[in-house]
Amino acid sequence: MARVPPEVKDRVLRLRTAIEKYRYDYHVLDQETIASEALDTLKHELATLEATYPELVTSDSPTQRVAGEPLPGFKKVSHTVPQWSFNDVFDEEELRAFDERVQKNVRAAFGNSARATYTAELKIDGLKVVLTYNKGVLDTAATRGDGRVGEDVTMNVRTIKSVPRKLTRPVDVVVEGEVWMGKKGLKELNRLRAKTGEAEYANPRNVAAGSIRQLDPKITAARPLDVFIYDLAYSSEPAPQSQWDELLYLRDLGFKVNTYGSKQLPDINAVIYFWQTWLKTKDREDFLVDGVVVKVNERLYQERLGYTGKAPRFAVAFKFPAEQVTTVVNDIVLQIGRTGILTPVAHLAPVTVAGVVVSRATLHNEDQINRLDVRVGDTVVIQRAGDVIPEVVQVVPELRPTGAKRYVFPKKVPECGGDGSIERVPGASAWRCVAKNSLAQQRRRFYHFVGKHAFDIDGVGARTVDQLLDAGLVTHYADLFTLTEGDFLGLEGFAEVSAKKAVDGIKARSTVTLDRLLIALSIPQVGEETARDLARHFTTLGALEGASVETLKEVEGVGDIVANSIGAWFRDADNKRGLRELLKHIVVLAPERATASTLAGMSFVLTGTLSTLSRDEAAHKIRERGGTVTSTVSKKTSYVVAGESAGSKLDRARELTVPVLSEEAFLKLLA
């Protein structure tokens, strides 16, 4: 027998403690203290360890527990029809394997030309209920429980408006469905709870489950619950002959059926397409979806395929990628930005979140680290904010290794390349490297200088900048413009073609508009918008350079702080010298002016991917016509232009009833 390493034993014990605690919070206290899918990662880790070291399995381990044991306080009901669960598949390959098994079986039984088709139905993330109707009247509602015995929640389910008390015909049926709470309903509920000082809920699914399990139906009645019925387990009438007809039959009886999120599909490719489409758009719905249930459509084939011990062979749940998972923090590293701001970044054990492998996540600043109390070695829950940027949501303190120390910001940052001294920015939560000669900052400023919104030099990116700096070929911006093809040829990865491309790229950008130059200079407080405002106001660099703080404040959006920052930058001797040198090699043009005013006074927010032009091009076209482009939706926004797979800005637009333009409508408006 393999000897169990002590750290594995320790981890297993801690995992059990953690899982038990979250289970208690959820089931007994009715509190959401961790996302259920993050808890799944922990359970999975425990199960894997126990499988590797079977001697660690104990009878009280959470892995040995039967799921969904009935709670005390509710009458128990035995289900008259067995409650199956679905086998899960997580990717296309597994789904195709399922399809092959199905088709093989069907051919074997019904001949070579027999083929199963499918229905795909969104798998709503809520609480499953089993409803029994006698002669068309609701008799019992039960939770799934362990599959054989559930809890009698009839009184609570009766308070849900979309559950019919009486059907359109006096039939005896047993149906299954999902009780759920909408995101909007949860928001409203939280608003009311905040008013009375009660803790807010995080996840509508758990609130839905908690609401159904209230001992007082009045509480349930006050919760905005809804239901979708999706399965007919028994009927006194002849059963429909396909899954799709079953849904229509249920609807016909008066049940609320999610036909909008369901479809009859000819083959597995169509199922995959259905899944991919919903993956992109599911977050716009009010309900939570955790996957697609794929069922063989033909009842005849379903019956032939039958059941395994716990699940039907004719159906699977094709899950969407988890959006919150747990992983381990291997290290916390400081990054130095171009203005010297220090940003702590967590280096993580690589893990798949929402379909993408993530190995780093920002911790923003010192306050955020302290709030979360993240330590090296910690197990953390991470998610991708707005499905893009990874972030640490919470720490799982039960899984903290003994001796893990609280993270302390260092007093010095030698890696900045200067003298390494840092200070906390007054009145802010950031630390800044204040070394005058910081090489790290110089590097970041160079990245920014050649970047898309500044000089936009083709053929010179961050990697090339690194090499140029390391080889000592450049120290000041001006040096870029005297580089020769020979200089590039000495660098790794450069041959004649790429060297020529780099030199040409630099040459092509030696004429710039004033706004781009200002963006490129990394003047604190001056970003894209302010640079454009300044350029438009002063037109020439000379006018801006000589401007007093008072004159600067005349510019829209420039107040004391920004004006002083600009003034100080132009007074600094090093900056002056650097700028003079740079100007010897470049030509500065007045900023582009709007050529029309068809969009004057209108403000736009762009979201999603447009098919005929990039977002930058779209923004340019808006500005050309006198309109403005901002990044956040507010009441003042005139239009939100939504492209493919638009994100949260679209939701925000709907919330504030800001008009939304399709790409087509937008192009029409431009014309």
Partner DNA sequence: AGGCCTCGAGTTCC
Partner DNA sequence: CTCGAGGCCT
- Please give the residue ranges that form the binding site for DNA (CB under 7 A): 335, 337-341, 343, 345, 356-362, 364-365, 367-368, 385-391, 425, 427-430, 444, 524-531, 553, 556-563, 603, 607, 628, 630-632, 634-637, 647-649
Q: Which amino acid is at 193?
A: R
Least distance CB 548 / DNA (angstroms) = 15
Least distance CB 664 / DNA (angstroms) = 22
Q: How far is residue 211's CA from residue 192's CA, in Å, rounded to a whole number?
A: 15
Give 18 or 392: the residue with its C-beta nearer to DNA: 392
Identify each DSSP E strand in 409-547 by its residue range. Answer: 422-424, 431-433, 511-513
Residue 147: which of 213, 229, 79, 210 has the closest Cα?
A: 79
Give 92 or 172: the residue with its C-beta nearer to DNA: 92
Give 151 or 391: the residue with its C-beta nearer to DNA: 391
Give 370 or 597: the residue with its C-beta nearer to DNA: 370
Give 360 or 412: the residue with its C-beta nearer to DNA: 360
User: Exposure pattern of 201-216 as b/e (b: 16+ CB <10 Å)?
Assistant: bbbbbbbbbbbbbbee
Catalytic residue among 9, 123, 161, 452: 123
Give 10 or 556: the residue with its C-beta nearer to DNA: 556
Classified as helix, coil or strand, 274 is: helix
The label of the residue with tokens 């008009």 reads: 659
Question: Residue 638 class from Cβ within 10 Å (0-12 exposed, 13-18 middle, 19+ buried)?
Answer: middle
Structure token digits, residue 76? 């128990």
Q: Do 659 and 602 meet the contact criterion of CB atoms below 8 Å apart?
A: no
Residue 452 known to be catalytic: no
Give 222 or 345: the residue with its C-beta nearer to DNA: 345
Least distance CB 571 / DNA (angstroms) = 17
Least distance CB 417 / DNA (angstroms) = 15
CA dihedral 211, 213, 219, 223 (to 10 degrees): 20
Q: How far is residue 277's CA from residue 581's CA, in Å, rounded to a whole number?
A: 54
Least distance CB 220 / DNA (angstroms) = 31
Residue 477: which of 430, 429, 512, 442 has the closest Cα?
A: 442
Q: Do 219 and 198 meet the contact criterion of CB atoms below 8 Å apart?
A: no
Q: State how beta strands 127-134 and 137-143 pair.
A: antiparallel
In order, the DSSP letters of 106-175 are HHHHH-TT----EEEEEEE-SEEEEEEEETTEEEEEEE-TTSSEEEB-HHHHTT-TTS-SB-SS---EEE
Least distance CB 386 / DNA (angstroms) = 2
Backbone angles phi, psi at 530, to 5 degrees: -65, -40
- The gap between the terminal CA atoms of the chain, to the nearest Å, is 76
Least distance CB 547 / DNA (angstroms) = 14
Q: Give the residue numbers marked as catalytic.
A: 123
